[in-house]
Structure 1
């Protein structure tokens, strides 16, 4: 076995000498816990009721039995909220046991999925978990990931920045198959203890639950039963452990408390007098582990994605289960971290109070959807219905914060430059919260007239007057008065109302228009103003069309083929990418966790379909083509699948095929090119009436490369196109966040997405990037038969992508910046003509660095300081230059917990030059000078 381990370590795991042995006694550390999925195979409230019973019994046990030493509360403080929501009278009892070190809480708010939640969501999770835990005592400094479906590469750095030097986890490095069974070959780590190194060099001690986080569950009190139990359990633990300090987890999913554990420990001690059995905790276990001999631990680097397995048990296809949830999550995260927080910070710098309490509420509501069984879409239907409501609630809070913030900012902008055009000029403030200077297409609704009913108008009079408003003779201009090409749509009469702070609601009738235009070079984290006004100045009337099916700007040329696919030519490199946007459809006889294509099935594609194609938009700043595919696909799997599901046939062994009955699948695609864009946008809409299938969009790159790059949490991860030798699954789908990229020496293609978290780089000789748009399945999977008809995702769906060619370097070319900006909506606010302290083209901060990606701007609740965060996308040292535009600050380095670190000296021009290590996550604090 040792030879197999040494061979498997090779490049991924390098042996390293650590502490020498200091003792010979074997100790069994038994840690009581329960892994609490808030919702999964039962709806939330049914799990919730069981949690109340567990916590009641735990408090009673701790008070009645001093030999029941302690309990680990699953690393997530939300359990406290859930319990006290029903049992507020037990708060003092709970707090007493936490402060006495008998209940360990934190460090997280919830146990989140790693790959489907954003970097900032993970930071807020750690921040809120620490803050909530500190109200009761000290947060547990345990990096706890018991059941996470793999782990991102930046986890070690995030742990160290949180003051945590360890990670306890259940998946990602050791071969894991059905029901979490482990293989005896192909190890990535020599032992269950390992050293985990992140891309920046951060290193933590990793503890793999090699025999799962239930390996000490239900310990027998009876001697005969205990003898059999401990013989097996000790052999299993010693098989993987590097020391005599053996870890046994006494608990499992929703596991009730083992009330007779002290008696069971005494039985074990009687049977094995030469060993020590203790009711332990993670802190004591780690202390003992560090004292003991660790021999040689493997140093495992980067992501934990279970690549050294047969590929059937990775649970990776949760990235495409119920895609609508992922799309709602992407929007919810972006609205908080990339829109509401920076705008509220901007407004705070103008004197507005920063709504910390609202952000905490919105983040908590959003994060209640982030546990792995929730955001992964692998629960029963009732769970995911409730998630939709939470997503809406969190987003509504974010939108309310945005509305209040932009009102404050807009009122502070000096728009008097438009007064020379007359009193009926209608100014607009355009906000760019992306963190980079930005150009792009903006669509804004504008009120031309508003008539309040309080002014004595009847409904008929208000409607009549609003209809008579003349919309002709108006143009859009920038802050200098220069004309801007603009498309105007008359939206007609619109009812609306105000909700003033000092009076009853104020209804009105208005006349609105929608303006669509291209803005240019809006400053990062800043604003720019425009106005729609009366003028006889003529605007541009050119076109981006070069024919009925071809579009072109200074950077790109797009040509649509008869089958609806397109060829994209990068004028800078001269490279053309053909057959982009072909759709692929295959059967799926798997479940919410894993995709399984029927054996021997040939994929259906739109390659041989003739599409309906027409011009949709033709303006000087935007060209769009509409493409319609009329397709017939199988209605579902055949009857065999239902039988196999009920009989719990493991999905790789299923024999079901697709039905011969077909249903229509009409796909509407809009391909758009704007005047200054670096990429081509693609919007796909369809009404799904089929079951048991998967729909993907294909983007052949024709680039010769054995690896690709993908956006992950605070990292551009590099992954091999070919899976490991152990991989047997024909599919090699993976997780992404904002984009995936295939690059060569001089060419590259980046495909950005909005909430489409699953992709595959096909082994088809073309390095085709395949992005999953929909996956329809009818069962949860895992340990039983749980039908999930709503996971078939019937009805209307929309998917959005941007295809960005570049010169082979996604960082230096700006392709990755474009992909990140694609995630973030433009924000627009209509305002009036008024004086103000904010210039018409303004941002509170300016920063420069090609290699850094901007991550967040927010306020610290305790200090009131501004916190800005970036991360280095590159493998080299980067330089960050940052300068406040107006106010004077003292700078300091911080971490993800926003703790104040070393001060930063500014130069004479109030600029700061920071050196940023490869892949470093850097947070800077800005304290107003007094």
Structure 2
């Protein structure tokens, strides 16, 4: 049998980092030039068949921002197959953006691409810093069966070089990539990187030298006769003489077929020629079978403030604004599709890997902070409008029986789980409106004199609750009615803090402030609880006993298991002579910790529902690296070869930590604030679990990923940091420790004999790294910084899933809306999405309204590998159907007596549509 003739598929493309070593508008101007040049080539060279626009529709959007008159031309090129559109809106970092952000990216990319023509059905991950384990399942649900990627398995190095390693995870660039649920796609690795066909020479002598190397490298890993040559690289303009260069190649190598190809044709040819057996790689692709230096995981701790802003923004949109808007929509309010789409797009413009990863020049982050504020501003407006509409539908008339002066308000919990929390609501009493020409000072005086700050607090059952209040005095406010001019007013404000009690999952409960002069005996007397402070430096509730040791560390006893965890919350500081991509501790550097260092400890809150201690640490750390580091940076000495040490000059750093225990919670809340005075260092907080386990678990994209604690034999990097989203967990039979966070995406489970979880709260570095000298003084993160986490002990086994749900809830703040006394169609307390899971591993991911059909779409995923059941109460007027990540209408679900039960296999992502048809 003759050997099939090898086919060289040359695919022209550019990898478009929207911002990176230059700020956005500098890249934007370069994009306009690149697109102008590409369109000119396509107009004048009929042999130039196609160009791949990096899998992201924002490239088209950004071009049309300058040349809107060229929209029809672009539409024509996409419909002819000469330009690609989609499947993503942007090329995101998968691990530093939330599960739902990854889905919205796919949804918006598809929706925008359809305007131009066919959607590129290729799972495109050219330069993601590691790939999510559930990618295959997400792609399959979106109708995509092939993925191409550049990182995560052995073959490609950080500097775009081919590795000379044996024992590869796959002997071929083609492999099967499988998600934990069993979903599978064909995976194609850029084994020679995505620039292995850039700048193809037209000159015969140069061309022969180029092709001899390129063909040999591509053949080395290919499992089929179809070899992939990627004609382009980062911000690479289209090669104007490519057609001539390919004609030269055909003359020099008559035994090969050279095609100016596209991904559709290339993938189809590969699929038709695959060998019977290919390797299968399951789950996350994070480069664990390498020396560990170039996984780029430390981008998770570069510019942590950016990650914190992103976590807050994502949470506002997907966990608060969308669910509340969906509930308001069910009560007759139009769903704000346009506003939410704009907010998501603005947020996702911060999600490209060089942006959210913190590995760009300083100017990039000035604009990113503005985008976050814009997106959050829209989310806040949607939340406020939805709350106002919902609260008018809730029957608060029952509070009139206590007092006709009652001031009702509603607390909403949208995390998806039943939860109790401590909230502070600022209530306005006795509004006095004033018109133009009236004297505002007199109005303010009346508002103050005709109200009183004293009162009591009751729940919807009329039971008095423990609270604390602060009289905020008179303040200005205004209404913006739908049918008239703005209405300014003054009102007395009272800040009331209390514990809500258990709120319904994805629901609300009504409360009322009753002014003392009008309170009646119909309100039940409260049962005043004892303080949570039993003795000095201790706190205790029904679940936990917490002792603050002399050095500020915590000893936490879990009453359910009887297990005690000691030494929690010690701070660790080391030097860092790496860059925005990679942490590198100086040779011989020894960690500085607060272990054994006396701390100042004081009580700052002592109420029946919450106790808080303030712990102050002050200790000395080196001011920066020595002068050698700057020399090594400026002469591009590889971080691996750097000999810089930490400076001998010391500066004090003060960390003020507030440790809180709420009466009903099963975790300890912690917030640290510090003014960073030093450069070139890393600050972590340590949580010894005293658990020896081969693996641990971290919240990732639609999964709780199991990861090996001890790296593979190839791993030589002393650091083994990893990504997390909401939490990391270590457990064994009868004992477990979950550490939740808000925007702290880097952790390490240390091999120190105590199973210590280390969470990074600051990394200070002074250069971008990678291919040039780009100084980034603002990445030192000097000045004010803050971090929040929650300590959640549990009993191991399946009890960990309850801790995981609390960790998810920790990220989602309760929402409060003041209203008035009125009748309403909704009861004073209700779950707006009643659900539960038989089998404790289900997590609610999102609740929103579909743009095309107006149906409500809810999404869950099984955190466990074991089967579970999802029980839904849908209401008798609704019909249910299974959907996908693209929100397609699928198979109808049988509803009996207003409820439905659905099996959810291990690790499955399940989307359910609620139709009012």
Q: Is the 8 A contact 2:465 2:526 kept in 1?
A: no
Indicate the SS of the match to 1:547: coil
- Describe the shift of the 1:222–1:187 C-alpha distance in structure 2 as closer, same or farther (beyond 3 A): same
What residue is the counterpart of 1:314 in the other structure? 295
Q: Counterparts of 2:905 and 2:468 in 1: how far apart (Å)? A: 46
1:413-428 equivalent positions in 2, closer than 5 A: 413-428=394-409
| Structure 2 residue 742 is the aligned partner of structure 1 residue 754 | yes
Match in the other structure for 2:248: 267
What is residue 347 of structure 1 aligned with on the other side?
328
Structure 2 residue 464 is the aligned partner of structure 1 residue 465: no
**Quick check: 441-450 or 613-622, which moved more?**
441-450
Give a deviation string over 1:459-504, Cα, whole Å, max 9, x none. 3323333333554551110111101101111222222222223333
Q: Is the 8 A contact 2:155 2:191 kept in 1?
A: no
> For 1:592-639, what per-residue CA distance to the aligned partner results, in whole angstroms no more than 9, with x for missing partners?
000011110110001121111011111111011010111221111110
Asked if the contact 1:811/1:851 (under 8 Å) is kept, the reply is no
Which residue number corresponds to residue 282 of structure 1?
263
What aligned pairs does 1:567-586 form with structure 2 within 5 A after superposition?
567-586=555-574
Cα distance in 1 for residues equivalent to 2:748 and 2:431? 51
Could you tell which deviates more after superposition, 430-439 or 761-770? 430-439
Q: Do 1:545 and 1:623's aligned partners in 2 also have CA atoms closer than 8 Å?
A: yes
Task: Answer whether contact 1:812 1:851 (CA < 8 A) is retained.
Answer: no
1:241 and 2:222 are equivalent in the alignment: yes
The 8 Å contact of residues 143 and 166 in structure 1, kept in 2 or not, is answered as yes
Q: Does 1:878 align with 2:835?
A: no
Distance 1:854 1:471 in 2: 43
- Cα offsets for 1:95-150 (capped at 9, x unmatched): 11111111111100000001000110011100000000101111100100001100
Say if 2:669 is the partner of 1:681: yes
1:43-442 equivalence runs, <5 A: 43-185=23-165, 186-442=167-423
- 1:22 CA displacement: 10
Aligned equivalents of 1:712, 1:686: Cα separation in 2: 28
1:490 paired with 2:479, answer no
Contact residue 448 and residue 491 of structure 2 kept, 8 A? no
Cα gap change, 1:811/1:783 in structure 2, threshold over 3 Å: closer, same or farther? farther
1:38 aligned residue (18, 26, 29): 18
Return the offset for 1:887. Answer: 5.6
CA distance in 1, matches of 2:651, 2:272: 65
Q: Deviations over 1:242-284 (max 9, x none)?
A: 1110000000000011011011111101111111000000111
C-alpha separation in 1, matches of 2:800 and 2:595: 34
Contact 1:749 1:803 in 2 (8 A): yes
- Of 457-466 and 731-740, deviating more is 457-466
CA contact (8 A) 1:174 1:182 kept: no
After superposition, the C-alpha distances for 1:761-787 in whole angstroms (9 at most, x for unaligned) are: 011110100000010100000001100
Once the two structures are superposed, what CA deviation does each residue of 1:711-761 show, in whole Å capped at 9, x if it has no partner?
A: 000000000111111111111100000000000111100000000000000
Which of 642, 649, 655 pairs up with 2:643?
655
Give the corresponding residue for 1:4. none
Q: Give yes or no for contact 2:801–2:841 (8 Å, CA) kept in 1.
A: no
Give the deviation of 1:842 after TM superposition.
Answer: 1.3
2:763 aligned with 1:775: yes
Secondary structure at the residue paired with 1:546?
coil
Are the aligned partners of 1:859 and 1:867 in contact in 2 as well (CA < 8 Å)?
yes
> How far apart are the structure 2 equivalents of 1:477 and 1:390?
40
**What displacement does 1:35 show?**
0.3
2:720 aligned partner: 732
Size of the aligned set, in residue pairs, is: 907
- Report runs of 4+ in structure 1 exceeding 4 Å deviation: 536-539, 810-813
How many Å separate the matches in 2 of 1:803 and 1:906?
40
1: distance between equivalents of 2:907 and 2:649?
52
Give the drift of 1:70: 0.5
CA contact (8 A) 1:432 1:527 kept: yes
- Alignment partner, residue 811 of structure 2: 823
Distance, in Å, in 2 between the alignment partners of 1:180 and 1:569 is: 50
Q: Structure 1 residues 564, 589: closer, same or farther in 2, change over 3 A?
A: same
| Partner Cα separation in structure 2 for residue 874 and residue 71 of structure 1 | 42
Q: Is the 8 A contact 2:55 2:86 kept in 1?
A: yes
Structure 2 counterpart of 1:710, from 688, 691, 698: 698
Please tell me whether residue 447 in structure 1 is matched to residue 435 in structure 2: no
Structure 1 unaligned regions, length at least 5: 1-20
Q: Give the CA deviation at 1:295.
A: 5.0
Q: CA deviation at 1:539?
A: 5.1
Contact 2:7 2:256 in 1 (8 A): yes
SS at match of 1:438: coil
Alignment partners' CA distance in 2, 1:756 and 1:23 = 54
Q: 2:550: which partner in 1?
A: 562
Correspondence 1:509 to 2:490:
yes
Aligned equivalents of 1:234, 1:325: Cα separation in 2? 42
Q: Which has the higher mean CA deviation after the structures are superposed, 80-89 or 655-664?
A: 655-664
Determine the structure 2 residue equivalent to 1:889: 878
2:617 is aligned to: 629
1 CA distance for matches of 2:236 and 2:345? 25
How far apart are the structure 2 equivalents of 1:147 and 1:472? Answer: 58
- Distance, in Å, in 2 between the alignment partners of 1:429 and 1:596 is 50
Contact 1:176/1:306, CA 8 A, preserved across alignment: no
Q: Tell me how far 1:212 sits from its aligned partner.
A: 0.4
SS at match of 1:531: strand
Contact 1:175–1:308 (CA under 8 A) maintained in structure 2 = no
The separation in 1 between residues aligned to 2:73 and 2:696, in whole angstroms, is 53
Return 5+ residue gaps in structure 2 as ranges.
none
- In structure 1, distance between residues paired with 2:34 and 2:322: 38
Cα shift at 1:813: 5.3
- 1:520 paired residue number: 501
1:493-547, Cα deviation, whole Å (9 max, x unpaired):
2222222233332222222111111112211221100001033745515211111
TM-score, with normalisation over the residues of structure 2? 0.97
Q: 1:526, 1:842 within 8 Å by CA — same for their partners in 2?
A: yes
Are residue 904 (structure 1) and residue 893 (structure 2) matched? Answer: yes
Q: 1:242, 1:295 within 8 Å by CA — same for their partners in 2?
A: no
CA distance in 2, matches of 1:897, 1:331: 25
1:80, distance to aligned residue in structure 2 (A):
0.8
Instruction: Assess if the C-alpha contact under 8 Å between 1:564 and 1:610 holds in 2.
Output: yes
TM-score, length of structure 1 as denominator length: 0.96
Counterparts of 1:737 and 1:165, CA distance in 2: 27
Q: Secondary structure at the match of 1:845?
A: coil
Single out whichever of 781-790 and 504-513 deviates more from structure 2.
Answer: 504-513
1:846 pairs with 2:827: no
How far is 1:90 from its partner?
A: 1.2
Counterpart Cα distance in 2 of 1:308 and 1:140: 31
Match of 2:657 among 669, 692, 697: 669
In the alignment, the residues of structure 2 paired with residue 305 and residue 683 of structure 1 have an alpha-carbon distance, to the nearest angstrom, of: 30
What displacement does 1:701 show? 0.3
Q: Secondary structure at the match of 2:502?
A: strand
Cα drift, residue 812 of structure 1 = 5.6
